[in-house]
Chain A
Amino acid sequence: MASISFKHVWKRYAGNTVAVKDLNIEVADKEFLVLVGPSGCGKSTTLRMLAGLEEISDGEIWIGDRVVNNVAPKDRDIAMVFQSYALYPHMTVFDNMAFGLRLRKTPKQVIEQRVREAAENLGISHLLDRRPRQLSGGQRQRVAVGRAIVRDPAVFLMDEPLSNLDAKLRVEARSFISKLHQRLGTTFVYVTHDQVEAMTMGTRIAVMSAGELQQIDTPFNLYHNPRNLFVAGFIGSPSMNFFDAKVVQQDGGRISLEIVGHMLPIPAAIAEPFKSHIGKRVTFGIRPEDIHDQSYLPGGITPSMIEANVDVVEQMGNEMILYLEENGKTFVARTDPRTSAAIGHRLGLAFNMDNIHVFDVDTELSLAYEYKQNKAQKAVTA
């Protein structure tokens, strides 16, 4: 059992390439932290530094109550599941799982017992005598997890362990790993580029881009209160729509957003953080599910009406994905499946103004981030 902290961690490669920039993350004991980001964002490098496979250029990494910068991987009390599984091809499944224990001079009976127990839990008992090449992708993945489990490490590291599985197995493996985390009660650090994996498995998610931590928070908060434009666009599928917009104050003091020739009034209850930007250009973001067909409005929202041309219609059965266009700007909506939109129609839409996101054009930071955070905290304490 261990907590982990990254303190001002940097990774520089020869030629001054910076892979990880001043990273600060605190991972609590028993947490399932997911590092997510596009390829090349530094998430794998971060994990590899934690594992000891990559040197730390600057800063400190703590596991439990010790700095591990100069501790060899084998002495860090970690286990790792690799993307390719990295099973030893010449060893049986049993030997693959027992290898680490044997090197640590664990007594034979203990090895036997631990491997059999882990195999039992993973449903691979009948495979113990086989070699990796005789296994399917899903079985290999379980063996790789098994090899990590038997060591009973303080920290589990996983580097895109599901990316070699087909879509169906991946969904199964997701819940399998989540259950494993609950049962073992060990700290997990999990790297993926797939935001669905990140959202479904992580107790907290660290979003990285270009070597920098963009935001670290719970899946819910990341989705509903992204700190900046990158996180807003990265989390969610289909992704958030962005519009060039301007904050204006209308007669009577009402604050509105001007986008593609329409005026969208902001509800007074959430208008406070936008006052500083009156008269300025901003980026306005709204998620596809916050754009409704005005004939099928759900209750309890603050709608603001606009019209748009329908480009493409995708009927999903439970919902409808509409690709829309207005004054040269295209955007996506997820509407009620009964929406009677057809290609070429002009459709009346309602933006739910309660769930809008507004970003500064230069800093790309969300104007309402702190405001929403405080509000959420108040809601918790109240």
Chain B
Amino acid sequence: MTTSTLAGQKRRPYSRILIYSVLVIVAVAFLLPVYMVLVTSFKTPDQVDISTMWVPSIAPSLASFNDAMQELAPNFGNSVLLVVPATAISAILGSLNGYVLSKWQFRGANILFALMLFGMFIPYQAILIPLVQFLRSIGLYGNLGGLILVHVVYGLPITTLIFRNYYAEVPTELLEAGQIDGAGFFGIYWHVLLPISIPGFVVVVIWQFTQIWNEFLFGVTIAGNNSQPITVALQNLAGSQIVEWNVQMAAAFLTALPTLLVYLLLGKFFIRGLLAGSIKG
């Protein structure tokens, strides 16, 4: 180690300790409810008691997971049928929007982009009634199609923003080389831009998947009885007179699992994707 770094580190230990203490406290605060969910979900109904709520079960049981799965299965399927197409469509459209807004600048492009971003800040509640009326009039109310459409539209601002900023870092000369090589608008997108867009897609997919999977309000208002997503079903579990805490907790854990898995699988790329714009080369 050189003397300069030694001198530079002189003040560090204290600030390090402070930073790590804060991080540990915050991490514990976040993990406590998760711990509670997991511990309770492995209990049988008679083991659930407020006095022993922090104590893990001596004889862990998977029965509550079994119950929760039976309750949630159809809605889990609905959520998959909702999230996969909605994420895919909003990612592809966002990528095309970003391509046009960053590389085929037309008159008024920046104003259009600002208006699109504005959409991100409109609260769901504010447009709920006209939205339901509109969906009813086009026959998409009460089914997954309507829900997919709503999530695609609400996702476009953020996906467009991410891709526009990602593509802004791609040298324009690369696209011009494609143009001279003989590729047109879609040819350049398909052959040149799309293959180098993977980090952008990872960010967008994680984001959209999590948003749409966790969303509740549209799910409860727009979907029909047979097309309710998993978040609505989870809420309905608690609706009866007796709350089966162990089943409720197991269901909550199962509901949260897919987003956790997506993040764990794509997380490596997520960090890289976020940094891709900031590091040149």
Contact = CB atoms under 8 A, between A and B. Distances in A.
B177 interface: yes
A99 B181 contact: yes
A74 B188 CA distance: 12
A61 interface: no
Contacts of A52: 179-180
B272 to A, nearest CB: 15
Interface stretch (A82-90, A168-176, A211-219, A273-281): A82-90
A37 to B, nearest CB: 20
Contact of A83 (B173, B182, B187, B191): B173
Nearest to B179: A73
Chain A interface, >50% SS class: loop
A83 B176 CA distance: 12
A95 to B, nearest CB: 10
B183 A103 contact: yes
Contacts of B187: 103
B173 A86 contact: yes
Contact of B196 (A74, A80, A90, A104): A90
Interface in B131-188: 171, 173-174, 176-183, 187
A89 B196 CA distance: 8
A73 B180 contact: yes
B195 A86 contact: no
Count chain A CB atoms within 10 A of each CB in B179, B180, B187, B192 and give the residue with the most. B180
A23 interface: no
Given A53-B179, A74-B180, A86 B174 contact: yes
A74 B173 contact: no
A362 to B, nearest CB: 42
Interface residues of B, number: 16
Contact of A74 (B171, B174, B181, B195): B181
A201 interface: no
A286 interface: no
Interface residues of A, number: 23
A72 B179 CA distance: 9
Interface string B235-256: 0000000000000000000000
A79 interface: yes
A147 B181 CA distance: 9
A185 interface: no
A51 interface: yes
Contacts of B192: 88
A79 B179 CA distance: 10
Interface in B238-280: none
Interface in A94-108: 99-100, 103-104
A99 B191 contact: yes
Contacts of A104: 182
Contacts of A89: 196
A84 B173 CA distance: 7
Contact of B171 (A72, A73, A86, A100): A86
B174 A88 contact: yes
A78 interface: yes
A80 B177 contact: yes
A51 B173 CA distance: 12
A82 B187 CA distance: 20
B177 A82 contact: yes
Contacts of B173: 82-84, 86
A352 to B, nearest CB: 46
Contacts of A79: 180
A74 B182 contact: yes
A154 B175 CA distance: 22
Contact of B182 (A53, A86, A103): A103
B182 A78 contact: no
A103 B181 contact: yes
B182 A100 contact: yes
B196 A86 contact: no
A260 to B, nearest CB: 49
A86 B192 CA distance: 11
Interface in B195-213: 195-196
Contact of B176 (A86, A90, A103): A86
Nearest to A144: B177
Most chain A beta carbons < 10 A, residue from B173, B177, B187: B177
Interface in B104-132: none
A342 B195 CA distance: 64
B195 A90 contact: yes
A86 B171 CA distance: 8
Given A51-B180, A74-B179, 20 more contacts: A52-B180, A53-B180, A74-B180, A78-B180, A80-B176, A84-B173, A86-B173, A86-B176, A86-B177, A88-B174, A88-B177, A88-B178, A88-B192, A88-B195, A89-B196, A99-B178, A100-B180, A100-B181, A103-B181, A151-B181
Q: Which 8 A-B pairs have the closest CB atoms?
A: A100-B181, A74-B182, A103-B182, A86-B177, A86-B173, A90-B195, A82-B173, A86-B174
20 contacts: A53-B180, A72-B179, A73-B176, A73-B179, A73-B180, A74-B181, A80-B176, A80-B177, A84-B171, A86-B176, A88-B174, A88-B178, A88-B192, A88-B195, A90-B196, A99-B191, A100-B181, A104-B182, A147-B181, A151-B181
Interface of A: 51-53, 72-74, 78-80, 82-84, 86-90, 99-100, 103-104, 147, 151
